[in-house]
Structure 1
Amino acid sequence: MTENQPSVAENQPSVTSVALKYGLIGALISVVFTAVLLIAGIDVSGWIGSLGYLILIGAMVMAMKDYKKQNYGYMSYGQGLGLGTLVSLAFGVLGGLFMFVYTSFIDPDFRTNMMDKQRIELEERGMDDEQIEQAISMGESFSSPVMMFVWSIVGYLVIGFIISLVVSAIMKHNRPEFE
């Protein structure tokens, strides 16, 4: 052990504080990106909307780099997984809050427009009216502002956890056992 490196028993940086810092920064960038797409009338459910996941990955990588920097270059797989998952949670909460506000107050017709687009897509697939009505009614029950908030959190947690599995494996750097 060198003079510049503390023993394992000394305090490590907080996974939570690092994750929340980068999670909130990344989520704010993602919210601005989504707002620009919505204002421009670009379909956020298309491929361009999925570019927001690149912002999530970037926030995870930055959080893990910062954590490693604060922890003398070390980060276990579990610490990285925790960082990535908490960053994803921040994304889900902030993104969900934004969509709740947007669909409730800024553009209350958003849901109706989404259902109209879905109806057209289902008609193009050749579904009959009964099947379309059934699909639309099911979609409406899952697309209320409150449910969009809940699904945002759940979706980002699941996808973020999966992404974290990979990013953590790449970025981990375990502390030597006999230090």
Structure 2
Amino acid sequence: MQTSTAPASATTTSVGLRYGLLTGLVSVIISFLLNVTHLEQSPAKWLTLVVLIVGVILAQKAYRRANGDFMSYGQGLGVGMVLTAVSSVLSAIFSYVYVALIDPEMPARILEKGRADLEARGNMTDAQIDQAMHWTAMFVQGPALVGIALVGGLILGLLVSLITSAVLKNPKPEFE
């Protein structure tokens, strides 16, 4: 009986799930801290994008390492999208739970700051500001918030994954 000591290659799904859970958890912690400190509208909100980019890069590198230092563009994209899907679902669930149970006044704060920002610009009439606030209100409350978090996360993750896969790919030579 012969036993193999070669490590089993990782799948795009297994690596994407593992790193998606980690990336999602870190993003949720950062979002929670920003929300609790009422900094959800500050430039610090871009920190979750940095977490996503780092998570995708680390996941793609881990996949490549586990597969003999080879990763096709499609495999890199697959790892990134599985990671993004998992992370986006966690973030969307967190957003809903946070607004529904922990801080129901958060949408009102966002709308209030949005109105103040539009008024400070001084280039819109009151009717235009009211219309903008009406549309904004539809996207920062309830199920729309979850949908925006999910779809926005997936689109952002797709863009990140397309770029990082192109940079980190190392396909197997065809004639070996």
Pairwise CA distance, 1:112:
0.8
Question: Counterpart of 1:54?
Answer: 50
Question: Counterpart of 2:90?
Answer: 94
Q: How does 1:134-153 map to 2 (within 5 A)?
A: 134-153=131-150
1:110 to 1:155, Cα distance in 2 relative to 1, 3 A: same
Whole-Å Cα distance in 1 between the matches of residues 63 and 164 of structure 2? 14
Superposed CA offset, 1:86-115 (max 9, x none): 211122111111110011110001111111
Equivalent residue in structure 2 for 1:122, among 112, 118, 123: 118
Question: Counterpart of 1:110?
Answer: 106
Pairwise CA distance, 1:167:
0.6
Pairwise CA distance, 1:137:
0.8
Superposed CA offset, 1:37-84 (max 9, x none): 112222x23321011111111111111111112211110001101111
Kindly report the root-mean-square deviation, in angstroms, between the aligned alpha carbons of the 2 structures: 1.8
- TM-score, with length taken from structure 2: 0.91
Is there any run of 5+ residues in structure 1 with no aligned partner, and where?
none
Identity fraction in percent: 36
Give the 4+ runs in structure 1 shifted more than 3 A: 3-6
Is there any run of 5+ residues in structure 2 with no aligned partner, and where?
none
* Contact 1:5–1:72 (Cα < 8 Å) also in 2: no
Question: Counterpart of 2:22?
Answer: 25
Secondary structure at 2:28's aligned position in 1? Answer: helix
Whole-Å Cα distance in 1 between the matches of residues 156 and 13 of structure 2? 19
Q: Does 1:82 align with 2:42?
A: no
